[in-house]
Structure 1
Amino acid sequence: MANDESNDQGTYVLADQPYERDTRYIETRITRDGGDGYPVEPGRYRLVVSYACPWANRAIIVRRLLGLDRVISMGVCGPTHDKRSWTFDLDPGGVDPVLGIPRLQDAYFARIPGYPKGITVPAIVDERSGAVVTNNFPQITLDFETEWVDFHRPGAPVLYPEDLREEIDAVNAVVYRDVNNGVYRCGFAGSQSAYDAAYDQLFSRLDWLSERLATQRYLVGDTITEADVRLFTTLARFDAVYHGHFKCNREKLSEMPVLWAYARDLYQTPGFGDETDFDHIKRHYYEVHRDLNPAGIVPKGPDLSNWNTPHGRESLGGRPFGDGEPPAPK
């Protein structure tokens, strides 16, 4: 089947080049005033995700923490995809039960015929038209936090407080550059020099984060914010895939005491660990990135049961949900 394009997973490494992420997203926004033509409206939109993807995992977590699962439906793609599109192979008949499509590509084409760029998750689809509204993942969670406030659950945390936004934005910028995208710059580096530079930048930032979090429970302020969500989804994948598959191997996360305790603290917080699927994560990276792992073999290890061990971060104070309360159990 090597010549069947539907089974071609695509190429991720370009020889002799550093990895550059394409960030040309569909930037339409869903807002209270409907300025882009898509007003906030319960029951109108479907968030399409994969639990394998760290960018989609952010939206899954924020939707759950804020209680937006009551007003925004969610379609879940399988952990793998082919060269062109994520697919709904987890659903009966391989078709999303709300959108009625087998491939997320269909919703992109409904918005922009022949859409030439990556078919990415997360994507928000307008259920009325079946067309993608946006795949601009950094803005999706910010809009969940600021534009959908009238539909947050009672007791929802304030994930993007106005008085901390400047600091949150600054932390997010360096974490994205050096960590969230930094692991990909290691894994998809096309030369030794590109890999070395990305590796050094990644672990320098992880050391910086360890110092920051040694004396405070959360990244910004004394409650969970957007900054913690963005860092968590990378840390959750670190030992399972990035350490080995992407050669981010100076240390495992479980060998970095501060970050390991911090990650376990979040994992054990409702809305984080219960929205993390290690099986989907491992299957995606090892089965899809065939230029890194030609046989598609998924490793049996590492043992991930240690995510539920005590973390001791309560001693630093802080209140996970501020004046609010955790979401109801799944």
Structure 2
Amino acid sequence: MARRVHLHVGAPKTGSTYVQNVLWKNRDALKKAGILLPGSVAAHDQAMTDLRSVPWRDPASTWTWDRLAAEAAAWPGDVVITNEGLGGATAEQAERAVRSLAPAEVHVIVAGRDLWRTFPSVWQQGVRARNVGRLDDFLGAVEQGKNDAFWDHTTNRMLMRWGDLVPADRRHLITVPPAGTPHDVLWQRFARVIGIPEGVCVIAAPPANPSLGAAEIEVLRRVNAALGDRYPHRTPYQKVVQRHLVDAVLKRAPNRVRFGVGAGRAGWVLDLADRQIKELDGYPCRVEGDLSELRPATVDRHPSPDELDDGQILQAAIESIVGLLGQADALHQQAAAPRTFARLRSRAARGLRRDR
């Protein structure tokens, strides 16, 4: 029976990928220290889609939430389950998850990042998941109170939806440090919450996960709109568009023009941040970091992708086509290599037979 289970449920765009990479790369060392990551990265993701009963669950998935919970229960020490998609569970789904892990001591971990950086990151992530809405429309809907789905995936609601299911001393809020802070600070905060002894994990620099530039993300948004019903979310889109266009081309593009919320909404975002901090300050939980880090440290003046002219979009589209041609050529050469090797081997074999 597991002693403690740490459920890291989100929020999205709070350094989750970096923390998860450290955990999984050090899985064997953690296991020797008595801390289990059950299953695999894919298992945690598949269990999340099962728990949430999402319509885009991959039909080929083999892991369910109950299977993951059973593997956790069989471990005699501590367990970590981590997937930022868990934060989107309903109250009923979250209750089921926590109940399934009993009688272990369940801890809930939620991370929080300032809204100035969160808004454009969440919108971009949505476009990279096949959304077609413009940034200004997204922000406008949030501003007018018409985008409840966004708030359901934010730190405050996630922490309270999941945290209300466990005692106050088992609710953990980790704040994401300001930009420019050494990358290992975020990891150290997670490690302290989970109880990972210092020196157990080898800490590497976070993997490159570049943000797309304003022109590149606008090209992708328009491609999504033009796709119609082709390559639906989630698996078909990841296998084709994410793999061949986003990962192989757009991430490697110049991405010259950064984008952001826009100076016109600075006052609104700062006011939201103050209200967010006040609400969290009144919620009983353990904070690792400082709530003041949820207030934007700087307010940049980067433009919205909606402000770009057609010439900038055209240039990014042409560069993307050139990149796709290179990707197609590389894939062709990879496919041809085994056939070339087979022909050479066959010729060599025929030569040996003639020599005899």
TM-score (norm. length: structure 1): 0.29
TM-score (norm. length: structure 2): 0.28
Larger relative helix fraction: 2
